Chains A and B, each alone.
Chain A
Amino acid sequence: MTINVGIVGTSWWADAMYLPTLQDHPYGKFVAICGRNRENAQKMAERWNIPHVFTDYNTMIDSGKIDAIIVSTANDTHYPITLKAIEAGLHVLCEKPLGLNYGEAKHMADLADAKGLQNLTPFTYSYMPTARYIKELLDEGYIGTPYHLNLRYYTGYGRAGDYMWRFDRSKAGAGAVGDIGSHFMYLATLFFGKISGVYCLLGQHTQRPQPAPDGKPYEQADDTAILSLQFANRAQGVIHVTTMAYEDTPFGQTHHFELHGSGGTLYSYTDWHTVQQVKGAKVGEGMPKELPIPEHIWNGMRQDTVHNTYKDTFRTQDFMARQFVTGIAENKRLRPDFQDGAEIQRVIDAALMSSKERRWVEIEEIQ
Chain B
Amino acid sequence: MTVRVGLIGTSWWADFMYLSPLKEHRHCTVVAVCGRNAENSQKLADKWGVPLVFTDYNALIDSGEVDALMVVTPNVSHYPITMKALGAGLHVLCEKPLAMNYQQAREMAELAEQKGVKTFVPFTWSFMPYARYLKELIANGYLGKPYHCNLRYYSGYSRDNASQYVWRMDVAQAGSGALGDLGSHFTHLAYWLFGDITSVCSHLGQIGEHAPLDPSGQAYELADDTAVLTLTFDNGAQGSVHVTTLAYAGASPIGTTFHMDFHGSDGTLSGLSDFETRQHISGAKPGEPIHDLPIPDSIWAGANRDSVMETIGDVYGKQEFMAREWVTAIAEDKPLRPDFREGAAIQRVIDAAIKSHQERRWVDIEEIQ
Chains A and B bind each other? yes
In the complex, how many angstroms separate the beta carbon of B215 from the nearest chain A beta carbon? 25
Query: Known contacts A245-B268, A281-B248; is A228 also within 8 Å of B154 by CB?
Result: no
Chain A, 252-279, CB within 8 A of any chain B CB: 256, 258, 260, 262-265
Q: Does A360 contact B (CB under 8 A)?
A: yes
Of the candidates B238, B242, B244, B361, the one whose C-beta lies within 8 Å of that of A201 is: B238
Q: Which residues of A contact B247 (CB under 8 A)?
A: 147-148, 260, 265
Chain A residues whose C-beta falls within 8 Å of the C-beta of B288 in the assembled complex: 248
Residues of B within 8 A of A284 (CB): 251
Bound-state CA distance A150–B226 (Å) is: 13
- With both beta carbons as reference points, the residue of chain A lying nearest to B199 in the complex is identified as A358
B-side interface size class? 35 or more
Contact assessment for A246 and B267 in the assembled complex, using a CB-CB cutoff below 8 Å: yes
Query: Does A236 make an interface contact (CB < 8 A)?
Result: yes
Q: A119 in the interface, Cβ–Cβ < 8 Å?
A: no
Using an 8 Å CB-CB cutoff, how does the interface string of B341-353 with A read, 1 for contact, 0 for none? 0000000000000
Chain B residue contacts of A234, Cβ below 8 A: 205, 207
Chain B residues 267 to 320 lying within 8 A of chain A, measured CB to CB, are 267-268, 274, 276, 284-290
A345 within 8 A of B: no
B201 to chain A, nearest CB (A): 5
A236 and B226 contact, Cβ closer than 8 Å, known pairs A147-B244, A224-B238, A245-B268: yes
- Tell me the smallest distance from the CB of B247 to a CB of chain A, in Å: 4
Interface centre among B145, B228, B230, B288 (most CB of A within 10 A): B228
CA of A177 to CA of B318 in the docked complex: distance in angstroms? 48
- Are A358 and B289 in contact (CB-based, < 8 A)? no
Q: Identify the interface centre among B159, B238, B267, B288: most chain A CB within 10 Å of its CB.
A: B238
Interface residue B240 (Cβ < 8 Å from any Cβ of A): yes
- Does A240 touch B at the CB level, under 8 Å? yes
Inter-subunit contact B286/A246 (CB<8 Å):
yes
B117 at the interface (CB under 8 A from A): no
Q: Are the CB atoms of B205 and A148 closer together than 8 Å?
A: yes
Cβ-defined contact, B207 with A205, below 8 A: no
Q: Among the listed A152, A159, A203, which residue makes an inter-chain contact with B238, where contact means beta carbons less than 8 Å apart?
A: A203
Q: Is the CB of B360 within 8 A of A359?
A: yes
A237 to B226, CA, bound (A): 11
CB within 8 Å of B: which of A34-83? Answer: none
Please count the residue pairs between chain A and chain B whose beta carbons lie under 8 angstroms apart in the complex.
134
Q: List residues of chain B with CB within 8 A of the CB of A260.
A: 154, 244, 246-248
Closest to B274 in A: A287
Shortest beta-carbon distance from B278 to chain A in Å = 9
Give chain A's interface secondary structure class. strand
Does any Cβ of A come within 8 Å of B335's Cβ?
Answer: no
Are A235 and B238 touching (Cβ within 8 A)? no
A172 within 8 A of B: no
Kindly list chain A residues whose C-beta atoms are within 8 Å of the C-beta of B159. 262, 283
> A224 to B207, Cβ gap below 8 A?
no
CB atoms of A154 and B261 under 8 A apart: yes
CB of A24 within 8 A of chain B?
Answer: no
Which of A199, A237, A240, A247 lies in contact with B201, CB distance below 8 A?
A: A199
Q: Is the CB of B226 within 8 A of A147?
A: yes
Instruction: A224 to B230: give the CA distance in the assembly, Å.
Output: 13
Task: Please encode chain B, from 308 to 338, with 1 for each CB lying within 8 Å of some chain A CB and 0 for all others.
Answer: 0000000000000000000000000000000
Set of chain B residues within 8 Å of A236, measured between Cβ atoms? 203, 205, 207, 226, 228
Contact: B250 with A228, CB < 8 Å?
Answer: no
Chain A residues in 8 Å Cβ range of B230:
199, 201, 226, 228
Q: Specify which of A148, A238, A244 is in contact with B147 (CB 8 Å cutoff).
A: A244
Which residues from B are CB-within-8-Å of A203? 147-148, 238
B222 interfacial by beta-carbon distance below 8 Å: no
A-side contacts of B165, CB under 8 Å: none
> Are B203 and A228 in contact, CB atoms less than 8 angstroms apart?
yes
Check A245 against B207 for contact (C-beta < 8 Å): no
Query: B341 → chain A, closest Cβ, in Å?
Result: 27
CB distance B246 to A148 under 8 Å? Answer: yes
Name the distance in Å between A265's Cβ and chain B's nearest Cβ. Answer: 5
Chain A residues with Cβ under 8 A from B285's Cβ?
246
Given A147-B207, A236-B207, CB of A358 within 8 Å of CB of B361:
yes
Q: Contacting A240 at CB < 8 Å: which of B148, B248, B251, B267? A: B148
Contact with A along B213-229 (1 / 0, CB 8 A): 00000000000001010
Contact residues, A142-194 vs B (CB, 8 A) = 147-148, 150, 152, 154, 159
Bound-state Cα–Cα, A224 to B265, Å: 13
B251 and A199 contact, CB distance less than 8 A = no
The B219-263 residues at the A interface (CB cut-off 8 A) are 226, 228, 230, 232, 236, 238-240, 242, 244, 246-251, 257, 259, 261, 263
A339 CB–B CB distance under 8 Å: no
Given contacts A201-B230, A201-B232, contact A245 B251 (CB under 8 A): no
Asked whether B362 lies within 8 Å of A148 as measured between CB atoms, the reply is: no
CB–CB B250/A245 < 8 A: no
Contacts A228-B201, A238-B240, A359-B361 supplied; 17 other A-B pairs, CB < 8 Å = A147-B226, A148-B205, A199-B201, A199-B203, A224-B148, A226-B148, A226-B239, A234-B207, A240-B148, A245-B268, A246-B268, A248-B289, A265-B249, A282-B248, A286-B250, A287-B257, A288-B250
Can you give 7 A-B contacts (C-beta < 8 A)? A148-B207, A246-B267, A247-B268, A256-B261, A258-B154, A260-B248, A358-B362
- By a beta-carbon cutoff of 8 Å, the part of chain B in contact with chain A is 145, 147-148, 150, 152, 154, 159, 201, 203, 205, 207-208, 226, 228, 230, 232, 236, 238-240, 242, 244, 246-251, 257, 259, 261, 263, 265, 267-268, 274, 276, 284-290, 360-362
B-binding residues in A (CB < 8 A): 147-148, 150, 152, 154, 159, 199, 201, 203, 205, 224, 226, 228, 230, 234-238, 240, 242, 244-248, 256, 258, 260, 262-265, 281-288, 358-360
